Amino acid sequence: MSFTSLKNEIPLPIRLFLGKALLFFIVWKLVYGLFLSDSKILDHPLTTHVGEASVFVLNNLGDMSGFSSKKEVSTFVDDGGDLLVKEQASQIYHNDKLVLFIADVCNGLELMVLYIGFIVCMPSKFWRKTLYIIIGVILIDLINILRCTGLIYLREYFHAYFEFAHHYLFKATVYTATFLMWMFYSRKIHLKNEQPLQIG
């Protein structure tokens, strides 16, 4: 089967969506890599916010107290487990004992951009996209704060469950929530007859 015949078998709305999504992804990676990565203009405020919000939740949840967040330089192993990375992170302390740090890769920025990209590339009205982007970003931020809060709590009180929750459970929860928001947005497009993506 040739590329042209394969392309023709894919409905036009899906081709348009995939093309827009690829373009959005490339533009974001270029902008982030060239202008935002080194300056940390987005990462630092967001990482600080997540750390401070997580500490706020912990200090006001039940009888727990004594948690604090400080922005300090940390050295940690990257996600691949091979490279030592040194950068500023939100260090989380409990009664002046270091419990955990929240690095820039954990601040939820990539997930927010992924969510926004999906919404932007889907056919819908401008104001509806804007509304879903604002609500979705707020929800992703809240979910990520709860994720970090849970990780801090597990690291301090139930250390045996921390690694599983960190690498699998909480990541699956965050991505599932994002996927459900996408599905809700797509379903509403279909119900409102706003040029739904048709398969088959």
Tokens of 120: 């932007």
Tokens of 49: 């916010």
Mean pLDDT value of segment 103-110: 93
Per the DSSP assignment, residues forming a β-bridge with 73 are 88
For the segment 57-78, what is each residue's pLDDT rounded down to a tens digit?
Answer: 999 987 889 999 998 887 766 5
pLDDT at 15: 81
For the segment 119-141, what is each residue's pLDDT rounded down to a tens digit?
Answer: 999 888 999 999 999 999 999 99
Tell me the C-alpha distance between 80 and 147, whole Å: 21
User: Shortest CA distance to 119 belongs to which of 134, 98, 103?
Assistant: 134
Domain boundaries, the chain: 1-39, 40-191
